[in-house]
Amino acid sequence: MQLIKRSARAGGEVDDCHRTSRRAGPNTPPARSGTLSSQSAGDDSARIAAAVAWSYGLCMARPVLGAGGRRRGRRLSWPLAAVAVVITLTGLVACTDVPGSSSTAATSGTSSVASPTSSSAASSSGGARPVGSGAAAQLENAYQQVIKEVLPSVVEIRTEQALGSGVIYDKLGDIVTNAHVVGSATTFQVQLAGRANSVHATLRGTYDASDLAVIRLDDASAVQPASFGRSADLRVGDLVLAMGNPLGLASSVTNGIVSALGRTVSEPQGQGSPGATIPDAIQTSAPINPGNSGGALVDMNAQVVGIPTLAAVDPESGSAAPGIGFAISSDTVRRIAPQLIATGKVTDSGRAALGVRVSTVTDPQGQPQGVGVASVTPGGPAAKAGIQPGDVIVSVAGQPTPTTQALADVLANLRVGQTVTVGLLRNGSQSTTTVQVTLGQLTS
């Protein structure tokens, strides 16, 4: 969109008694723009009024010729000139009543609220700073307040292989981040807000199933823990800020909204990343870029409501899909992190499990056929139901499970203690056998 600057056209000149408008020529001084103060407007208007009244008075006072060319005098012209002066002075009063001046406020009977910065701008520069609306200024102030409160709790984490973000969880110096940020490392360098030098940290524990990890600072003096809120209280459309270190740009902030809730998303396996299926994920339009992983998704109450983790990929281009990112819910973090801090393990994940180790089985054409059971946890849900190594799981709770990822996705949406039907292929048979399994807890 092209912006066109609109300049004021110079006023017309008074030509004897005939008021004729003339365009400003190339040498005509440019008209002044901007909002005048009431004092400057009054001075300019007074000079203009005097000139107009004088010229108009002269015009009206010119001799009026009678029959035969004799002068009839000027007495009848002066009353009209006086009227012109009165009209001009009335215009002067109107000119000094500049919008936003004190006289306007006093005479209009209404009041207006200006931006706190607009009055200083007007007095120093002679023109008021344009403000779109009071709501916009309030939102800007709200963003700044949230950033001021939370950003000091967001850190940068470096390993020999990766760079990511983390959020200070408590006064002990425990930091929550993604398991894929940690990778296989056990020691880290952490850059804290306001410190020139990085701080050494060590691993407390990881929970790959939910892509979460906790590390602890060696020196936790003066750390500022973030406040973790309830992601269950979020609503679609809520404003959120994503804070982290994308592409190594420290302490960056982006904004967006909560686009959807309760998503189940899967991240692929990769170098240093075991892959994970994340239930109850928050979808957001706030940009999430490499380096944002492990940072903070924050609501307008300055509460951390999620840990940014994934960005959607456009299958056609292979690049990140703009405006589609995912975060681990704060409710999941508040359940998992204390267990990793206490013991380094997770025994109460709230996630359903069969109690088997599996791999994807393919048919002769290389197409996924189901999930082969490699081993069964003794005394676990699968063992109690009679599932054996060598069985191929083809469905759970009526949903097909052609791959291990599909199985993980199905289980992520089921409950611990729920009894479900599991379809099996056994001993090379193509006939499906079914068993009833009461689901257990997914542990680390």
pLDDT tens, position by position, 243-297: 999 988 888 999 999 999 999 998 877 766 667 899 999 999 999 988 899 999 9
pTM comes to: 0.68
The pLDDT score that the predictor gives to residue 271 is 66
Measured distance CA(240)–CA(314) in Å, rounded: 23
pLDDT tens, position by position, 129-139: 455 568 889 99
Measured distance CA(210)–CA(335) in Å, rounded: 11
| Options 45, 174, 180, 238, the catalytic residue | 180
The answer to whether the beta carbons of residues 351 and 207 sit under 8 Å apart is no
Residue type, 283: Q
pLDDT at residue 192 greater than cutoff 50: yes
Q: DSSP letter for 153, please.
A: G
Using CB atoms within 10 A of its CB, is residue 420 exposed (0-12), middle (13-18) or buried (19+)?
A: buried
pLDDT at residue 33 greater than cutoff 50: no
DSSP string, 401-431: --SHHHHHHHHHTS-TT-EEEEEEE-TT-SS
pLDDT at residue 439 greater than cutoff 60: yes
The pLDDT score that the predictor gives to residue 273 is 66
The pLDDT score that the predictor gives to residue 248 is 85
Please name the CATH architecture into which domain 231-332 falls: Beta Barrel (2.40)
Measured distance CA(409)–CA(393) in Å, rounded: 14
| Options 293, 329, 395, 444, the catalytic residue | 293
Name residues whose C-beta falls within 8 Å of residue 309's C-beta, 6 or more positions apart in sequence: 178, 211, 267, 278, 281, 288, 293, 294, 326, 327, 328
In this prediction, residues 42-65 reach a mean pLDDT of 43
Measured distance CA(286)–CA(289) in Å, rounded: 10
Mean pLDDT check: name the lowest of 310-319, 375-384, 388-397: 310-319
The pLDDT score that the predictor gives to residue 313 is 86
DSSP string, 255-284: EEEEEEEEEEEEE--BTTB--EEEEEEEEE
pLDDT tens, position by position, 385-418: 999 999 999 999 999 999 999 999 999 999 999 9
Could you state, in order of their start, the residue ranges of all structural domains in the chain? 14-22+33-103, 231-332, 352-441
Q: Which tokens go with 437?
A: 């399994």
| Options 101, 210, 211, 330, the catalytic residue | 211
CATH topology of domain 352-441: Pdz3 Domain (2.30.42)
Q: Residue 293 catalytic? A: yes
Burial 188-210 (b: 16+ CB within 10 A, else e): bebbbeeeeeebebebbbbbbbb
Q: What's the chain's average pLDDT?
A: 78
